[in-house]
Structure 1
Amino acid sequence: MQKITPADMLAQKSQLPLLDVRTPAEYERGHIPGAINFPLFSNEERVIIGTLYKKKGKNLAVEKGLELVGPKLAQFVKSAKKLAVNQEIMLHCWRGGMRSGSMAWLFETAGLRPKVLQGGYKAYRQLVHRDFSERKLPLKVLSGATGSGKTIILHEMAKQGHQVIDLEKLANHKGSSFGAIGEDPQPVTEHFENLLHQRILELDPSRPVWIENESRGIGSVYIPQGFWEQMQTAPLINISIPQKNRLDILTQIYTGEDPALLQAAFERIKKKLGGQNLKKALQALQEGDYHTAAEIALYYYDKAYAYGLEKNKSRSIEMIDFDYFEADKMAQVLTLAGQAEN
């Protein structure tokens, strides 16, 4: 059995399968991107063993674990052999302890060459947080009022070969009261951090990396502190587009979505919007007038955006006004501006 560091594991992850032998519940809370859940114990079995450990001690808990795992051993080996590459396979548990050690012993006995992550998932998470602070990227922050099409422009930049981190895609949230509408359920913050770290590892640190200006909280997840500090001081390019284009973009995004979800989103910003504006917005939704509803929403979001821009700590802020919205052309203009800033 070979033990490997988190850095070694990440370097080999594209060539070798990585098995996460923790329970499905642990895996669901957060896991190494690309890892395959290969649980030694089910959620229920882990509870039984944990309770026995606390009440009766380690020896009885181990005996119970062996009793529960025994009938599964043959299937574990068969499944692992199908996944292994040239008989090699990587695996981990929470701390690199009994679960991964036991599974590695089994695999080795069956003729495989297992590599166990030293320190387990806990050590990987420590590396993730260290990298957010220490791994510096040449970030370029794209800013603009709600409905300016920033995400659309970032996607166009990516098509043109530029490096982009799409935080809203990683978070499954568009970052406003309306942000969850039309999106998959959000990951927990822990797994959002893992996904962000994976994306960072895919990037060339010698080339600019474009990212959208966000609040630290994106729905229910939070940008990790070290990376957030990099975003706060990175050069920022702020765009503006005509109001008509902004309303068209928002209308296109939300037309066809569940009116009840839109109504709930408006009600969440009632205090900032004001009772009369809320009433008008809800009436517009009932009439299918999404254009008017979007216009009312911008009344609130434009004030919040202006305040945020005023408080921005970027070392460099450039304002670029467009009298049109054509994402491909705007992406070219912005990337040229970003190069000039260097």
Structure 2
Amino acid sequence: MAEQLITLDEFWSLRDQFPVIDARSEKEFDQSHIPGSINIPILNNTERIQVGTLYKERGPEEATIKGFELVGPRFHLIIKDTVKHFPEKKVIIYCWRGGMRSHILAWLLTMVGFDIFRLKGGYKTYRTYSFDLVRKDWNLIVLGGKTGTGKTRLLKKLQETGEQIIDLEGLANHKGSSFGAIGQPAQPSVEQFENEFAETLHKLDPKKSSWVENESRKIGRLILPDNFYHQMLASPLIDIYRTEQERINLIVEEYAGLPSDELILAVLRIKKRLGGLRTSEAIQAIVEGNHEAWISNMLVYYDKAYNFDLDKHESGKTIQLDLSGIDEETSTKKLLEAKSQFHGKHTDSTD
């Protein structure tokens, strides 16, 4: 069979048809990779360091020979593993720059009948694209509201109507507060977050508006790209309101079933800002299983923080929308009506 070099533009059209293999080392892959790719390293972490050091000290020829010396005995294992995972024998391959490692893997696999599409420029080309994309200008509409107003749920409802959304908290594996990591997968690296972010943006029509939840610059340990964050501050904001009891009920629904020890640790992380008395009261309520009490306690702090962040938004671009006592379906319709005040009449995606 054959190997074919493909551009990044061709990659986007082919990736839905064929699986993607990352031929870099495990550490490189763990740090960041093209989302959805599977790691089959030609050189493992230790071997990559050895070859890289030799390349710098003695040049490419000796480094290449050393690379074959290290990986050669494993060629049969690499082939067996790849055939096991991809019996249809059609794959896309990349390494760091689209050079030796992906070329070697492609050579190996074509010998056993694979059709190979090798990404020209490798991961570096993809990463340059994703880095630039998350820093471009986007037509945003920001969904704001205090903790517990159900913003993420409404984003999903908006998406069901055909609206474009950017779920930053979903991409970051974090709900944006001291409690935000509980029950979530580990957060990605900053680079991988930007890759996942770019994957979302790549699917959007930049001429249309995209909904995004109001966030601070930092989501857990991840920081939003400066340009995107400043775009959020300057974009139209729909600030939704629900009663405190509605908000408490929603938070109870999401957090009451989580481990109490993790909830207590989350309270302790913001102890300095809560103060000793409020911290003690919240912890006692968690221990007693009185979820309404500790949540009500926390809302005093988070409401103040939200009002502080709200003041950062550009004046004259905010609509206040009361959704008290309204179901999600009706709330979504009201959001679309509010959007029309900024972006003209809403038309259904099926029109």
TM over 0.5: yes
CA shift digits 1:101-124 (9 cap, x unpaired): 222333445554433222211121
Per the alignment, do residues 101 and 285 of structure 1 end up closer, same or farther by CA in structure 2, a change over 3 Å counting?
A: same
Q: Which position in structure 2 is the counterpart of 1:69? A: 71
Q: Distance in 2 between matches of 1:41 and 1:149?
A: 47
Report matched runs for 1:48-127 at 5 Å: 48-53=50-55, 58-77=60-79, 80=82, 88-127=90-129
Amino acid at match of 1:295: S
Q: Which position in structure 1 is the counterpart of 2:347? A: none
Amino acid at match of 1:168: E
Report matched runs for 1:184-195 at 5 Å: 184-195=185-196
| Pairwise CA distance, 1:31 | 0.9
Amino acid at match of 2:332: A
SS at match of 1:180: coil
Q: Distance in 2 between matches of 1:172 and 1:338?
A: 27
Q: Which position in structure 1 is the counterpart of 2:231? A: 230
Q: Distance in 1 between matches of 2:278 and 2:194?
A: 37
Is residue 19–residue 92 contact of structure 2 (8 Å, CA) maintained in 1? yes
| Pairwise CA distance, 1:37 | 1.4
| Pairwise CA distance, 1:87 | 6.2
Greater shift after overlay, 301-310 or 258-267? 258-267
Q: Percent identity?
A: 40
Q: Which position in structure 2 is the counterpart of 1:42? A: 44
Q: Which position in structure 1 is the counterpart of 2:32? A: 30
Per the alignment, do residues 315 and 44 of structure 1 end up closer, same or farther by CA in structure 2, a change over 3 Å counting?
A: farther
Amino acid at match of 2:13: A
Per the alignment, do residues 232 and 11 of structure 1 end up closer, same or farther by CA in structure 2, a change over 3 Å counting?
A: farther
Give me the TM-score of the superposition, normalised by structure 2.
Answer: 0.88
SS at match of 2:134: helix
Amino acid at match of 2:214: N
Amino acid at match of 2:337: L
Is residue 247–residue 295 contact of structure 1 (8 Å, CA) maintained in 2? yes
Is residue 264–residue 283 contact of structure 2 (8 Å, CA) maintained in 1? yes
Q: Which position in structure 2 is the counterpart of 1:156? A: 157
Q: Distance in 2 between matches of 1:314 and 1:64?
A: 62
The answer to whether the aligner puts 1:327 opposite 2:325 as a matched pair is: no
Q: Which position in structure 2 is the counterpart of 1:217? A: 218
Q: Which position in structure 2 is the counterpart of 1:253? A: 254
RMSD (Å) for aligned C-alpha atoms = 2.4
Q: Distance in 1 between matches of 2:103 and 2:315?
A: 48
Amino acid at match of 1:318: I
Amino acid at match of 1:293: W
Aligned residues: 341
Report matched runs for 1:142-181 at 5 Å: 142-181=143-182
* Structure 2: gaps spanning 5 or more residues: 344-351
| Pairwise CA distance, 1:85 | 9.7
Greater shift after overlay, 82-91 or 269-278? 82-91
Q: Distance in 2 between matches of 1:54 and 1:131?
A: 33
Q: Distance in 2 between matches of 1:167 and 1:201?
A: 15
Q: Which position in structure 1 is the counterpart of 2:15? A: 13
CA shift digits 1:37-63 (9 cap, x unpaired): 121122233234345545665444333
Is residue 134–residue 194 contact of structure 2 (8 Å, CA) maintained in 1? no
Q: Which position in structure 2 is the counterpart of 1:281? A: 282
Q: Which position in structure 1 is the counterpart of 2:348? A: none
Q: Distance in 1 between matches of 2:7 and 2:317?
A: 39
Q: Distance in 2 between matches of 1:57 and 1:205?
A: 46
Amino acid at match of 2:324: D
Q: Distance in 2 between matches of 1:179 and 1:106?
A: 45
Q: Which position in structure 2 is the counterpart of 1:196? A: 197
Amino acid at match of 2:132: R
Is residue 149–residue 249 contact of structure 1 (8 Å, CA) maintained in 2? yes
Give me the TM-score of the superposition, normalised by structure 1.
Answer: 0.91
